[in-house]
Structure 1
Amino acid sequence: MFIYTVQPGDSLFVIGTNFGIAVDQIRLANGLAETNLVPGQALLIPLFTYTVQPGDSFYSIARQAFVSSESLQRANRSVTPGNMRPGMKLTIPDIPKKPITGLGYYTLRNPQLDRELINNFAPYTTYLAFFEYHFSSDGSLSDLNDPPAVQTAWRRRVPPLMTVTNLTETGFSPSLAHQVLNQPEARNNLIENIFATISRKGYAGVNIDFEQIMEEDRDLFSGFLRRLKNRLQPAGYVLTVAVPPKTNENIAWLKGYDYGGIGSASDLMFIMAYDWHHGASEPGPVAPIDEVRQTIQFALTKVPKQKIILGFPLYGYNWTLPYQPGTVSPGIANQDAVQLAMKHQAPIQYDKRYESPFFEYTDEQGKKHIVWFEDARSIGKKMQLMREFDLDGGGVWQLTLSFPQGPWLLTKFFRVRRV
C-alpha cells in the first residue's frame, strides 16, 4: 500500500485510472461516503504495485510507501533514476512485520454496539481497556455495565482490562488522587476494590489512568502502583499504566510522574503521546513528531523498551480564529476532520516539520477555523518510530473514533500478538 496526496483537479476516477484500481476500493479503504476530494487529502491506495506519476522519484515514492529508497530500488532493479518514466510499474517491497502488543481504549456504549465493535477491533489489538471506572475519596469504585463487553472480548481472544481513572464530572481531579494516595485506608480500599472487580467481572487486569498527578504525590503514586502490582501478580492479573508524555524531568506539571518508578511497577506503560496542543491551548499539532521522538528517547532512559506502549490519537481539535485564551475548542475525530475539509472544500496542508496535517475554513456563520488532526501520513510516521526504537507496542485513544486507514497501516508494519 501507499499514500497518495490529492492534487488540484484530481477525482477518484482520475486517481483510480492512474493507478489501476477501482474507485470503490479507494472509497472503502478510506471510508469515503462522498467523492468531492480536496487538494492535500491523504488517500491510502491498497495496492502493492505503484504506477509512476509525472515528477516522481525513488525518494518520493518510497516516502509515500513508508519504505526506504534503497529497498525500493532493490525491488525494481530494472528501473534506475535515469530511466524512470511515468506509467512504469514499480513493486512496493514488503517489510518484515514486527510483533507488537496492541492496547486499544474503548468507551462502552450499549451491549449490542459493544459486541459489534469489539468483534471488528479484535484482530488489531492484544488488550482492550474498557473506559471507565471512577473512584471516590474513600477508595470505593463506581460500577459499569460491562459483562457483555467482557464476555465478547474473551470470545475473540482479546483480554479485557478495566480502566480506573480520577475523572470526575468536572474533569480529571488531581485533588481526588491526592486524597486517596495520602490516606492509607482509602488507598488500600481502592486496591482491594480493583482486585475484587477484576475477579468478579472476569477482567484480565487493570489499566490505571490517573491524570494530573501532583509533584508532591510522585512517590506515593509509584508506591500505590507497586502495592497494586503485588496484589494482582499472584493471581496472574495484568497492570498497565497510562502516563502523559515527558521529554525530560524538568517539566513542572509532569513531575508527579516518575517514569522509572511507574515502569518498574507495571507490566506495560502506555505513553499518551498526544495533546501537546489541545482544546484549551492555542492551535497547533496534537502529536508533533519531534516531541514524540524525544518522549520515546527519554522514556527509554527510564523504562525497558519491552514495557513501552506508544499511544496515538485518533482525533484532533477544531479551533475558532482568532484564538482567544480561556476558550475550550472541541475535539474532532480524524475521519470527521477529513469530511469537514471535504464539506467546505478546504485544501489540507501538511507540515513536514511536525509531520501533521491541518486546514482552515470559514463556517456558515462566517467564523474562521483551523483544524489540526492526524491522517495516514502522520500516523505512519509514528509507526515508523515504533519500529526504529523497537518498542513493545502501540495503542490508540480511542477505538470508537473512526479511522478506516488504521488497519491497513497497522498490518503493513506489524503483527499483533495474541495472548
Structure 2
Amino acid sequence: MACGAAMAQQPEALFYLIGMQKSVNSFVAHVDKVGLLVPTWYGVDSQGLVNGGPNQYVLDIATQHRVPVEPIISMSSGRDGFHTLLHDEVAKQHMIESMLQQAQQYRYAGFQFDFESISWTDRDAFTLLVKQTAEALHKHGFKLSIAMVPNAPGHAGQGRFSKWMWQYWRGVYDLAALGKYADLICLMTYDQHTRWTAPGPVDGLPWMLEQLKYALTLVPRQKLSLGIALYGYHWYTGNPVRDDGSEASNIQASYIDADESFPLAQEQHADVQWDSVDHESWYYFYRDDMREWVFRPDARSFADRYALVKQYDLEGFCAWVIGAEDPKVWDELPVVQR
C-alpha cells in the first residue's frame, strides 16, 4: 500500500508563460517542477491568419528537460473579428492548417484555445470550432486544451454586472460539449474581483469551490484543471480628469506581482492580513489620505488551492502566470517525474 501511495500520480502542474523576462527567468529556474508549459505565443485574426512563434530559448530549455509545450492561440482582432472567424469555414481551415504546421515544426504537444470576451450568441459556433480543431489535431497526435471563464450557476444571474459577464464572458462556453471534444479544460478560477469591480479576493476559496463543483457536474475530473492566480490586484484612486478634459469617477485596479506587492507592504508599513474565509492575503494603506487596497495570493493561499486539486482528484492546476508568484510557492511542489 505504501508503494502504491508513493506511485500515485501528482496533479499536472500547468504554468502559463508570457513575454516578460521575469516569466522566462522563473521558468528556467523551476523547470523541473513544471509539468506543462503554456506560453502566449500565437494569435489569429478574422481571416484565420495565425501569427506568432516560439521563444527559441524557452523552447530549447523545455525540450532539454522534456517539458511538453502547448502554446496559447488567442484572438487578435477583437470580439467582432472573432465572430467573423467563427462563421467563415475557409478562415477556420486556414487557422487549423497553420496550427498543425507549427505543431509539427516545433514539436508541440498541442495548442490551447484562450478565446475570451465572446458574445454568448456565438456559443454553438465556438463549440463547432473546438470540435473541428480537436478532430484535426487528434488525427496528427496533438492535443487541444481550452482556457475558459468559469460560468456557474449556468445562467445570467440577477444583477447587471452578472448579466454583462454572461453576455460576453461566461455564456459562450458550453462546458459539457467542450469537455467532450477537448483534452483538457483549464477553468480560469481567478479574477473574481478585477478592475471592473470593487476590491476583493482575486480567487476566493468559496467562489472557486462553487465554480469547481458546477464544472464537475459537466466535465470528468480527469479533464479538469483548476485555475490558480499567482498575481494580485492593487486598487487605488486614479486621475478624475479624462484626456478630453471631462471629469468622472476613476477607480483604478492594476495587476501587482509578488515582487512588487511584498515590498509595497513593507514600504507602507501595512498590516498584512489573512482572510480565513477566502484564504487570501490582503492589506491596505493610506496615500494622500485615501485608502489603497492590495489583494495578493501567496504561498499559503497557493497551498490551500493545491490541496483542493488533490482533494477532488483533478487532472491538475493551471497557474497564471509564472514569474508573478511568491517564491515560496515552489516549496509546495514536487519535482515532476517524466
Which bracket does the TM-score occupy, shorter chain normalised?
Answer: 0.7 to 0.9
Gap change, CA 1:325 and 1:164, over 3 Å in 2: farther
Select 1:106's aligned residue among 2, 9, 17.
17
- The aligned runs of 1:54-73 (5 Å cut-off) are none
- The aligned runs of 1:279-298 (5 Å cut-off) are 279-298=195-214
> What letter is aligned with 2:178?
I
Are residues 1:211 and 2:127 paired?
no
How far does residue 316 in structure 1 lie from its aligned partner after superposition?
Answer: 1.1
Are residues 1:129 and 2:38 paired?
yes
Structure 1 stretches of 5 or more lacking a match? Answer: 1-93
> What letter is aligned with 2:327?
P
Is 1:115–1:148's contact at 8 Å kept on the other side of the alignment? no
Partner of 2:332: 409
Gap change, CA 1:294 and 1:376, over 3 Å in 2: same
Name the CA distance, whole Å, in 1 between partners of 2:63 and 2:40.
17
- The aligned runs of 1:236-255 (5 Å cut-off) are 236-251=141-156, 252-253=166-167, 254-255=170-171
Partner of 1:81: none
Partner of 2:271: 347
Gap change, CA 1:325 and 1:234, over 3 Å in 2: farther
Specify the SS of the correspondent of 2:51. coil
How far does residue 102 in structure 1 lie from its aligned partner after superposition?
Answer: 1.6
Is 1:271–1:311's contact at 8 Å kept on the other side of the alignment? yes
Select 1:262's aligned residue among 171, 178, 198.
178
Gap change, CA 1:97 and 1:325, over 3 Å in 2: farther
What is the aligned-residue RMSD (CA, Å)? 2.4
Name the CA distance, whole Å, in 1 between partners of 2:124 and 2:191.
25
Between 192-201 and 313-322, report the one with greater CA deviation.
313-322
Post-superposition Cα deviations, 1:139-177, rounded to whole Å, max 9, x if no partner, equal: 001123523322221111101112101256xxxx32222
Post-superposition Cα deviations, 1:16-48, rounded to whole Å, max 9, x if no partner, equal: xxxxxxxxxxxxxxxxxxxxxxxxxxxxxxxxx
Post-superposition Cα deviations, 1:3-26, rounded to whole Å, max 9, x if no partner, equal: xxxxxxxxxxxxxxxxxxxxxxxx
Specify the SS of the correspondent of 1:197. helix
- The aligned runs of 1:145-294 (5 Å cut-off) are 145-167=54-76, 173-251=78-156, 252-253=166-167, 254-294=170-210
Partner of 1:368: 291
How far does residue 246 in structure 1 lie from its aligned partner after superposition?
Answer: 2.1
Name the CA distance, whole Å, in 2 between partners of 1:221 and 1:360.
41
Are residues 1:389 and 2:321 paired?
no
Name the CA distance, whole Å, in 2 between partners of 1:261 and 1:187.
19
Structure 2 stretches of 5 or more lacking a match? Answer: 157-165, 241-247
Name the CA distance, whole Å, in 2 between partners of 1:215 and 1:180.
15
Q: So what's the TM-score if we normalise by structure 2?
A: 0.86
Post-superposition Cα deviations, 1:190-211, rounded to whole Å, max 9, x if no partner, equal: 1111111212233221011001
Post-superposition Cα deviations, 1:306-352, rounded to whole Å, max 9, x if no partner, equal: 01111111111111159986544111013421221111110011221
Is 2:45–2:76's contact at 8 Å kept on the other side of the alignment? no
How far does residue 410 in structure 1 lie from its aligned partner after superposition?
Answer: 2.3
> What letter is aligned with 1:150?
L
Is 2:187–2:227's contact at 8 Å kept on the other side of the alignment? yes
> What letter is aligned with 1:204?
A
Specify the SS of the correspondent of 1:105. strand
Gap change, CA 1:331 and 1:115, over 3 Å in 2: closer
Q: Percent identity?
A: 25
Name the CA distance, whole Å, in 2 between partners of 1:387 and 1:180.
38
Partner of 2:161: none
Partner of 2:256: 332
Name the CA distance, whole Å, in 1 between partners of 2:123 and 2:199.
30
Partner of 1:119: 28
Q: How many residues of Structure 1 are paired with residues of Structure 2 in the alignment?
A: 315
> What letter is aligned with 2:194?
H
Select 1:317's aligned residue among 210, 216, 233.
233
Gap change, CA 1:96 and 1:295, over 3 Å in 2: farther
How far does residue 95 in structure 1 lie from its aligned partner after superposition?
Answer: 9.9
Partner of 1:30: none
Name the CA distance, whole Å, in 2 between partners of 1:417 and 1:201.
23
How far does residue 108 in structure 1 lie from its aligned partner after superposition?
Answer: 3.0
> What letter is aligned with 2:52?
D
Name the CA distance, whole Å, in 2 between partners of 1:97 and 1:350.
32
> What letter is aligned with 1:130?
P
Gap change, CA 1:293 and 1:148, over 3 Å in 2: same
Q: So what's the TM-score if we normalise by structure 1?
A: 0.70
Select 2:321's aligned residue among 398, 409, 415.
398
Name the CA distance, whole Å, in 2 between partners of 1:96 and 1:125.
18
> What letter is aligned with 2:321?
Q
Is 1:229–1:266's contact at 8 Å kept on the other side of the alignment? yes
Is 1:135–1:166's contact at 8 Å kept on the other side of the alignment? yes
Partner of 1:90: none
Post-superposition Cα deviations, 1:111-149, rounded to whole Å, max 9, x if no partner, equal: xx8875433232112111111311111000112352332
Is 2:23–2:324's contact at 8 Å kept on the other side of the alignment? no
